């Protein structure tokens, strides 16, 4: 598959999933929140989608689950797996020494 086809397939799958997630947020909000707090009104689909986007921005950031952090951790994992047992032990001993919190007297 080409890169363009993969992106199109992801888009085709993500759009309905976001719509379904917004509907779930709306149903949960309308089921839970008015019963917990007096004065809170039910929300419609578009408000639920806005709430979902707002919570993603405030709590999750806008980068995806597989940003550059995941790639970097995968590279570290591969590097550790390619080491011999002796190299790995030396690596962890050096890391333990550099990461140690120095106690105050």
Q: Based on the domain organization, do 56 and 73 belong to the same domain?
A: no
Q: Based on the domain organization, do 57 and 73 belong to the same domain?
A: no
Q: In total, how many domains does the chain have?
A: 2
Whether the predicted model's global pTM rises above the 0.75 cut: no
Chain centroid to Cα 105, Å, comes to: 41
Q: Based on the domain organization, do 32 and 70 belong to the same domain?
A: no
SS3 content of the chain, % helix, strand, coil (to 5): 75, 0, 25
Q: Based on the domain organization, do 4 and 40 belong to the same domain?
A: yes
Write the Ramachandran bin of 61: left for phi over 0, alpha for psi from -120 to 50, otherwise beta: left
Q: Based on the domain organization, do 50 and 97 belong to the same domain?
A: no
Q: Quote the CA–CA distance of 32 and 63 in Å, as a whole number.
A: 29
Q: Based on the domain organization, do 77 and 49 belong to the same domain?
A: no
User: pLDDT tens digits for the chain (105 residues)?
Assistant: 788 888 899 889 999 998 999 999 999 999 988 888 888 888 999 999 888 888 887 887 655 555 555 667 778 888 888 888 898 888 888 877 776 655 444
Domain that holds residue 82: 66-105
């Amino acid at each position: 598959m080409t890169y363009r086809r993969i992106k199109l397939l992801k888009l085709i799958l993500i759009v309905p999933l976001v719509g379904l997630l917004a509907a779930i947020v709306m149903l949960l909000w309308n089921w839970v929140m008015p019963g917990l707090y007096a004065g809170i009104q039910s929300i419609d689909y578009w408000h639920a989608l806005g709430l979902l986007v707002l919570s993603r921005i405030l709590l999750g950031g806008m980068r995806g689950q597989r940003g550059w952090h995941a790639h970097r951790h995968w590279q570290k994992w591969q590097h550790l797996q390619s080491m011999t047992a002796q190299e790995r032990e030396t690596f962890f001993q050096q890391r333990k020494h550099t990461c140690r919190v120095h106690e105050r007297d």
